[in-house]
Amino acid sequence: MSRVAVVGGGLAGFAAYLTLRHGGIEDVVVFDPAGGDPAAAWRRRAKSIRQRRMRSESDGHCLPTSFPGLAVRAALRRRDPRPLLASVCDRYHPSVAEFLQHVEELRTASGWDDALVPTRVERIRAVEGGFRLDGGHLFQHVLVATGHPGLNLPEEIADDPRTVHAYEPHEYADDVVVVGAGMAAATEWLNALAAGARVTSVRRHEPARRPLNVPRPLFSRRGLENFHAAGPSERELFLARILEPSYPPGRDWDEPLERAGRRFRVATELNGAEQLICATGFKRGFRHNPLLAQLVDEHELETYGSWIALAADCTVPALTDGERTLALSGVAAQWAYPAADTLVGAKYAARGFLRRVKACPTH
């Protein structure tokens, strides 16, 4: 039996690997069918929506420690204090290019490629003292970081030849409908307008306007204590509410829409536009992830709505004890950390996992 496995080689798995190595855990194996660039999926999506700046702030990085953040790195590299000043006011947002360079530097320096096994894990089964992955590999501790379970396309327009998902490569027609109202949708409004298109934003509700994808207090210890103290029904309702679409406030978003005048309008129904861009994010819930769905069914795990019930440190209580650990990271860990699909959330899960690994005796 080997000691530690990370299932998933995206950014959440990468952050977990770096955190474990920083914590002194050397024998980490990472399973990922793509077997390479941890930012590959994120890079494709960012390129598709022409994203230039990160929504995250200085601490939205992959380093296992919070300091130094990306603002410090930028200030030192440029010999310019302005990134630090912007960070103090929560207004520093690194460029996509800076973030990707940061990931590549860490990938090269960390031995990431040597830890990878280019295999898709399709089953995790609990055994005495650990877990069996598929039919062979045995590990004492496993962290599952398989990312989003797929792009969400509304059924009523999924087969429409005009439809393209925002996270897939595309150009812009002269008359565009953007379905959705979150960060990707707002980015596509501006992209299509800049390309000269007429844009209709189709949405059922007005989006929230906030800098981060969940309210800022939920990144703090006090905010999490209140969240963890809530009962299951209250927590389920709270998650459903705060995970609704949002995008940042500010003139960078508002002024282009105001200048567009009649070229931008809001509607509740589709029209006959040449192109339908679905900025509707990802499928939600563990049932859309075959690995997690089988894990739940085979081990009769506790669930609430779309979420697997987790302990505050992102571990699965029924399968974690003094000898073994099973933890979730990324979007699947929102029951423990609402902003789990951020880099800050990935490191929160990784640190909880590391504490469990270090507390367990080695088999």
- CB count within 10 Å of CB 255 equals 11
pLDDT(73) > 90: no
| pLDDT (0 to 100) of residue 228 | 96
| pLDDT (0 to 100) of residue 186 | 97
State the average pLDDT over residues 31-45. 93
State the average pLDDT over residues 42-46. 96
| pLDDT (0 to 100) of residue 363 | 61
Integer angstrom CA distances of residue 19 from 33, 100, 191, 212, 229: 21, 18, 36, 23, 27
Which tokens in the block code for residue 247? 């995008």
Q: Select the more confidently predicted residue: 174 or 54.
A: 174
Return the minimum-mean-pLDDT range out of 66-80, 177-191, 214-228, 301-315: 66-80
> pTM for this one?
0.93
Q: Position of tokens 């609990």?
A: 126
Whole-number Å distance between alpha carbons of 310 and 313: 8
Whole-number Å distance between alpha carbons of 240 and 363: 41
- CB count within 10 Å of CB 316 equals 22
Model confidence at 34, in pLDDT bands (50, 70, 90)? Answer: confident
pLDDT(88) > 70: no
Q: Position of tokens 């006090």?
A: 222
How many Cα atoms are found within 13 Å in the side-chain-facing hemisphere of 83?
A: 20
State the average pLDDT over residues 122-143. 95
State the average pLDDT over residues 78-101. 79
| pLDDT (0 to 100) of residue 57 | 74
Whole-number Å distance between alpha carbons of 347 and 329: 9
Model confidence at 235, in pLDDT bands (50, 70, 90)? Answer: very high
Model confidence at 89, in pLDDT bands (50, 70, 90)? Answer: low
Convert the pLDDT of each residue in 295-345 to its tens digit.
999 999 999 999 999 999 999 999 999 999 999 999 999 999 999 999 999
How many Cα atoms are found within 13 Å in the side-chain-facing hemisphere of 258?
A: 6
Whole-number Å distance between alpha carbons of 277 and 180: 9
Give the DSSP letter of residue 297.
Answer: H
> Average model confidence (pLDDT) for the chain?
93
Integer angstrom CA distances of residue 20 from 57, 60, 234: 23, 18, 33
| pLDDT (0 to 100) of residue 52 | 93
HEC sequence for 88-157: HCCCCCCEHHHHHHHHHHHHHHHCHHHHEECCCCCCEEEECCEEEECCCEEEEEEEECCCCCCECCCHHH
State the average pLDDT over residues 181-196. 97
CB 130 within 8 A of CB 138: yes
Tell me whether strands 303-304 and 307-308 are parallel, antiparallel or unpaired.
antiparallel
| pLDDT (0 to 100) of residue 289 | 97
| pLDDT (0 to 100) of residue 91 | 74
State the average pLDDT over residues 267-294. 96
Which tokens in the block code for residue 192? 């299509």
pLDDT(22) > 90: yes
